[in-house]
Amino acid sequence: MIDLIADGTTVYAITYNVTADIVSVSLINISASSSSIINTFSSTVAPTAVHFVSTGATPADKHFIFVYPDSTQSYKNSFRTLPDLSTATDMVDPVFDRSDDAAKNSPIIGAYAYGTTIYLITNEGILITSDDNLANFAAVNKADSSEFMSLVLNPTGSTAADFSVPMTIVTKGDTTKLLIMGGISGIYYYDITGLSTDIPIKFSSEDAFYSNVSSTHILDFYNVPIDADFSLYTATSDKWIWETVDENTASSQLL
C-alpha cells in the first residue's frame, strides 16, 4: 500500500506489487466494503509518494502526482489524470531543479488545489503555483535560499525526511485567505489573496494559536471551514489533536 486518497466521498487506493513491478489505482466502495481497479501500469520502482489534486468535478480535473526515485535525476515527478490514468506526463520545469544541482530534481512533498490554482511544495521548501492542468509553473520563493521553508529536510539538509506534508486554506476574520503548510519543524503561511505576504512566512510561538503546537511535527489538518475565523484542527506527532477557534487564542488539546 502506497497511499489512501479521499476525494469527498470517493476513496482511491494506490498499491505497488513488488513481484510484478505494477502500480495499481483502485476505487474503494466504503459502503459495500469492496474495491475495483481503475488502472494498472508498470514501474520498476515503487512510488516514493502520491499526491492528489482536484480543481473541479469532472474526471479531467483530477490529477494523481507520482514521485519516484531516479538514479540520474535523484527524483522524478509526473502526473496522471482521470479517467483512465494510462498516460504519465513528466513535470519538467526549472522550478523543480535542485538548488545545489540543476541536473537533479527536487521531489514534490505537498500538493493542494484551491479553485483553479494548484499549490506544490518541494522538499527544499519551495512553494510553486500551477494552473489547473499542471502545465505552467511559477516558484513563489526561489529567489534566495533564505526564503526556503524548513519543512522536511533532514539535519544535513540534503534529503527529504518526509514526503507528504499537510496543506490547507484558512480564512481570517478580514476574509484574507492563507495557505498554511505544516512539517517537521513548524507551520508556514502564504497569503493567497496577495495582501500581506510575498513569500511563505513561518508562524512563531508568539502567534497565539500556534503557541501550543510550535515544537511538534505537524501531521495533518482537519475540518477546515471555507469561511470562518481561522478555525481548524491540527494533528501532531505527539498523538495530540488541537482545536483552533481563532488566530488570537491558544489552540486547545482535544486528544
User: Which pLDDT belongs to residue 122?
Assistant: 94
User: Which pLDDT belongs to residue 29?
Assistant: 87
Domain that residue 205 falls in: 166-255
Convert the pLDDT of each residue in 3-45 to its tens digit: 999 998 899 999 999 999 999 999 998 888 889 999 999 999 9
Q: How far is CA 118 from the centre of its chain?
A: 10
In a domain, 130, yes or no: no
How would you class 24 by CB atoms within 10 Å of its CB: exposed for 0-12, middle for 13-18, buried for 19 or more? middle
Contacts of 65 by beta carbon, 8 Å cutoff, 6+ apart:
50, 51, 52, 53, 77, 78, 79, 91, 108, 111, 120, 134
The mean pLDDT of 150-159, rounded to a whole number, is 65
Q: How far is CA 184 from the centre of its chain?
A: 13
Convert the pLDDT of each residue in 200-229 to its tens digit: 999 988 899 998 888 788 999 987 877 777
| C-beta separation of 106 from 122 below 8 A | yes
In a domain, 228, yes or no: yes
Amino acid at 24: S
> pLDDT grade, residue 187 (50/70/90)?
very high
* Better pLDDT: 238 or 126: 126
In a domain, 205, yes or no: yes
**H/E element holding 98?**
strand 97-98
Residue with cell 529536510: 153
In a domain, 56, yes or no: no
Task: Report the C-alpha gap between 85 and 91 in whole angstroms.
Answer: 15
Task: Report the C-alpha gap between 161 and 125 in whole angstroms.
Answer: 12
Overall number of domains in the chain: 1
**pTM of the entire predicted model:** 0.93
In a domain, 208, yes or no: yes
Q: What is the CATH number of the domain that holds 178?
A: 2.40.10
In a domain, 238, yes or no: yes
- Closest among 220, 184, 177, 180 to 202, alpha carbons compared: 180
Task: Report the C-alpha gap between 16 and 41 in whole angstroms.
Answer: 10
| C-beta separation of 148 from 157 below 8 A | no
Convert the pLDDT of each residue in 31-83 to its tens digit: 888 899 999 999 999 999 999 999 999 999 999 999 999 989 999 999 999 98
Residue with cell 540543476: 102
Of the chain, the percentage scoring pLDDT greater than 90 comes to 67
**Chain-wide mean pLDDT for the chain?**
90
Q: Per the structure block, which three cell numbers stand in for 86?
A: 494510462
- Closest among 45, 48, 5, 44 to 25, alpha carbons compared: 5
Task: Report the C-alpha gap between 56 and 87 in whole angstroms.
Answer: 20
Buried b (16+ CB within 10 A) or exposed e, 46-70: ebbbbbbbbbeeeeebbbbbbbbee
In a domain, 178, yes or no: yes
